[in-house]
Structure 1
Amino acid sequence: MADDHLPELTGFTLSLRDQVATLTLDRPEKMNAMTRDMWQALGVMIGRIERDEAARAIILTGAGPHFCAGADIGEFETVRRDAETARAYEALNAAAFAAIRNATIPTIAAIDGVCFGGGFGLAAACDLRIATPQARFAVPAAKLGLAYPVEAMGDIVATAGAQMARYLTFSSARIDAQKAMDCGFLLEITASETLLARAGEIAGVLALNAPLSIRASKASIAAALSGRKEDMEHAQNLGDATFESTDYAEGRRAFLERRAAKFLGR
């Protein structure tokens, strides 16, 4: 497939190649700090990708040498100045994190440089994370005197573990890529010059597999983490549906014929 550039919203660049969509946070002059408008737009961007049947995986990354410095604190005097405005702002945060977390196709964060605060939350909401040795991670809410959104905290606990979540949020300390790898937050560490290529390799492998199967697996893992009955029922329904799908029949035929399966996502 050719490199098809999709319509963009301010602060992002979006492209699609070989069934893999790459969504780039594009404010390198601000270390890709997220504005209020960007938080609001992110869910729109994820939805746009999901509606494109050609997209089978998403890579989330940052322009320039950094992933994301978090929320743009320069806006806080206006958009996050008190409890009322903070609730509205955090609703946008939560919706952005949820859009990534609940995406029907797998998401991979490709991280270089700083991955702080809301940027850490974006990465934590992704299914998989890879980073360079230069990557640094922090959740500095305690230094700013604010609380991290509850749902996003669930992502941090699920990806880094409860003890590391406590350490990061209580101390506001920065950890390096190896520490993030050791606690399970990262899948692997790769050189800066190969970061996007390696993310593309992983995404390409996922894109070749059955979309309905991956969607059911995502739901099952989410249900295992949440323990909620409704999540378990949803995952079971998605799992049951795979056995009625065209892709399941194709997978069986391909195995018997000793060839690569061609999955259609239905």
Structure 2
Amino acid sequence: MDAHPEPELLVERQGAVLAVTFNRPKARNAMTWGMYEALYEACERADADDGVRVMLLRGAGTDAFVAGTDIGQFTEFRDGADGIAYEERIERVVSRLETVTVPTVAAVRGYCVGGGLALAAVCDLRVADETARFGVPVARTLGNCLSMNTYSLLVHHFGPARTLDVLLRARLYTAEEAGATGFVAEVCAPGDLDGRVAEVLDRLQGHAPLSMWAAKEAVRRLRRSGLPDGDDIVARVFGSDDFAAGVRGFLAKERPQWTGR
């Protein structure tokens, strides 16, 4: 066993860029609690360092940006209150990423699903290669739901009709489809992603920081201005028999039998 394993989240200052890498490629970069907390700390670092002009998020390997939250952590849940606590914990990190003062860019290869889609959605720009896939297929996998904030993000980016299409049919958008909605700013060939992202980062570094901050902060305030409470939704779904069966089935690689209870 490696006595000094690499961190699950790598944070590196590269000139004026703070590069954050989700570093669990064998698990498609699924997020652990430790990774979420490390991402929060990276956001704090970006805002505390005057030399950082842009923040980059990317996944290690070629299979995924982030394939959601590590499902093994859901085995600890016992009732709807656990679901509310979980969503509050995730929203704390997602909201912190959304309020980073410098522009944030998500470079997406492979799967960007579940919690990974929420992280990409609060970044200011998304650049993807043709292998990228976007969605939240929980209706056929875990039987859980999202926080009201995450639903708001999806409707904000995709509109209500596309959001319901993605969620109800549990389908994954291709990079081309996500580009057509405007969610992805640019789609490129797999071999071109690093170069295109570098060009975007370079361009952002040459722009007025306060102008960019004002734009992203105004859009954030507009999105959140009418955000309602959704704890009752989360409690009902995460406290259900279906969710418990979904977690068991996912870990056992068996398809659950949904009951609606």
Task: Compute the TM-score of the two structures, normalised by the length of structure 2.
Answer: 0.79
Cross-structure match for 1:237: none
Cross-structure match for 1:103: 100
Distance change in 2, residues 1:45/1:81 (3 Å): farther
Runs of 4+ in 1 over 4 A off after TM superposition: none
Q: How many residue pairs get matched?
A: 219
Per-residue CA deviations over 1:192-215 (Å, capped at 9, x if unaligned) read 222122112112211121211211
Per-residue CA deviations over 1:125-176 (Å, capped at 9, x if unaligned) read 1111111111111202222111101112212122222221111112211121
| SS of residue paired to 1:141 | coil
- The answer on whether the counterparts of 1:40 and 1:92 sit within 8 Å (CA) in structure 2 is no
| SS of residue paired to 2:112 | strand
Cross-structure match for 2:57: 60
AA partner of residue 30 (structure 1): A
1:119 aligns with 2:116: yes
Equivalent residue in structure 1 for 2:153, among 149, 152, 155: 155
- The answer on whether the counterparts of 2:53 and 2:209 sit within 8 Å (CA) in structure 1 is yes
Q: Distance in 2 between matches of 1:42 and 1:140?
A: 24
Cross-structure match for 1:189: 187
Cross-structure match for 2:168: 170
Per-residue CA deviations over 1:28-78 (Å, capped at 9, x if unaligned) read 010000012222332111111221111111111100012111011122101
| SS of residue paired to 2:127 | strand
Q: Distance in 2 between matches of 1:194 and 1:220?
A: 32
Distance change in 2, residues 1:111/1:163 (3 Å): same
Equivalent residue in structure 2 for 1:77, among 63, 75, 78: 75
The alpha carbon displacement at 1:227 in A equals 4.6
1:11 aligns with 2:45: no
Alignment RMSD (CA, Å): 1.6
Unaligned runs of 5+ in 2: 1-5, 227-261
Unaligned runs of 5+ in 1: 1-8, 229-266
**Identity percentage of aligned residues:** 34
